[in-house]
Amino acid sequence: MKDHLHRLFPVSAAVLIVFSIGCSDDKVVADLSSTVADNAHSLTWMKCSVGQRAQGDGCDGDAVRLTWYEATDLVRQLEPDSSNPWRLPTPDELLSLVDCVQGRVQVNSVDMRCIVDVNSGRANIDYNTFPNTEAASYWSSVTRDDAIAWQVDFQSGEPAGHFRTTPNFVRLVRDQ
């Protein structure tokens, strides 16, 4: 477990946000009731992925894949008047959460990636702190060009560019 991550308890009673994406009648949940303080980086993270609800020590329900455009729309809907709003994390902030539980392997002269246990299906993240995190890609706020935004894959532990129209998972962050 990373020493700089500490569990916090609900910060407010009214922090379960239900919203619609685009023209759809489908409702998506952003549960801001359970957060994780990352004091080393002066950040506060959502414990659960967007779509899940905090339940005891876990996160229940299914995380929802959103396009980058839907994820940025979600951020605008959450707390538009807040002086410290929730936001999509940067790639470096997401990479700070990667915890290669099986270790790392050199893939070329420069890059290393997490050793993936394909049988477990678990993400390379501290699962006690961020339970039920998907072993898949999570959006960042950073764009590369008009069509691509950066994401971090919690299976390989690597960043990469994806088309903004590709659905990926979302975990929001705010400054402390």
Q: How far apart are CA 111 and CA 66, in angstroms?
A: 28
- In this prediction, residue 119 carries a pLDDT of 66
Give pLDDT tens digits for 107-121: 666 666 777 766 667
d(CA 173, CA 176): 9
What is the structure's pLDDT at 77?
85
Contacts of residue 18, defined as CB under 8 A and 6 or more positions apart, other chains included, come to 27, 28, 29
pLDDT attached to residue 20: 52
Sign of CA dihedral 167, 15, 157, 73: positive
Whole-number pLDDT of residue 45: 94
Q: Which of 33, 35, 17, 24 is nearest to 77 (CA)?
A: 17
In whole angstroms, give the CA distance from residue 10 to residue 32: 8
Sequential pLDDT tens for the chain (176 residues): 343 333 333 333 334 555 555 544 555 677 777 899 999 899 999 999 999 998 888 999 999 999 999 999 999 888 778 888 999 999 999 999 998 867 777 666 666 677 776 666 778 888 889 999 999 999 999 999 999 999 999 988 889 999 999 999 999 999 99
Q: Would the pTM count as exceeding 0.85?
A: no
Q: What is the pLDDT of residue 71?
A: 95
